Amino acid sequence: MGKTIIISNRLPIQLQIHNGGITAIPSVGGLATGMKSVHSGGDSLWIGWSGLTDEEIPENLVGDIDDALSKHGSSKVNLSQQEVDGFYYGFSNRTVWPLFHYFLEYSEFEIESWETYKKVNQKFADAIVAKADDDDTIWVHDYQLMLVPQMVREKLPNISIGFFLHIPFPSFEIFRTLPWRKEVLEGLLGSDLIGFHTYDYERHFLSSVRRILGLDVSFNDIYLEDRIIKVDSFPMGIDYKKFSDAALEHQQRSKAEQSELQQRLNNHKESAPDAKFILSIDRLDYTKGIAKRLNAFEYFLTKYPQYKEKVRLIILAVPSRSNVPQYQLLKREVDELVGRINGEFSTVSWTPIWYFYRSMPFENLIDLYTSSDIAWLTPIRDGMNLVAKEYVATRTDKTGVLILSEMAGAANEMNESLLINPNNFEQIADTIHQAIQMPKEEQQERNDVLQKRLERYNVERWANDFMSSLTDQKENSRSYVSR
| Residues of this chain that bind ligand GDG (CB under 6 A) | 30, 166-167, 236, 281, 283, 316, 318, 359-360, 362, 365, 382-387, 390
Give me the least distance between CB of 454 and ligand GDG, in Å please.
13
**Exposed, middle or buried: residue 286 (CB in 10 Å: 0-12, 13-18, 19+)?**
buried
Q: Measured from the CB atom, is 231 or 301 closer to ligand GDG?
A: 231
Considering Cα of 202, then 207, then 213, then 219, what sign does the dihedral take? positive
Give me the least distance between CB of 430 and ligand GDG, in Å please.
25
Considering Cα of 173, then 175, then 181, then 184, what sign does the dihedral take? negative
Q: Measured from the CB atom, is 316 or 432 closer to ligand GDG?
A: 316
Q: Measured from the CB atom, is 276 or 381 closer to ligand GDG?
A: 381
Give me the least distance between CB of 391 and ligand GDG, in Å please.
9
Q: Of the candidates 393, 384, 390, 369, which has an alpha carbon nearest to the alpha carbon of residue 316?
A: 369
Cβ count near 449 (within 10 Å): 13
DSSP, res 87: I
**Exposed, middle or buried: residue 444 (CB in 10 Å: 0-12, 13-18, 19+)?**
middle
Give me the least distance between CB of 280 and ligand GDG, in Å please.
11
468 and 412 Cβ atoms separated by less than 8 Å: no
401 and 435 Cβ atoms separated by less than 8 Å: yes
Residue 43, φ and ψ in degrees, nearest 5: -100, 25
Q: Measured from the CB atom, is 83 or 382 closer to ligand GDG?
A: 382
Q: Measured from the CB atom, is 132 or 284 closer to ligand GDG?
A: 284
Give me the least distance between CB of 364 and ligand GDG, in Å please.
7
Q: How far is 302 from 428, CA to CA, in rounded Å?
A: 13
DSSP, res 313: E
Q: Measured from the CB atom, is 307 or 462 closer to ligand GDG?
A: 462
Give me the least distance between CB of 164 and ligand GDG, in Å please.
8
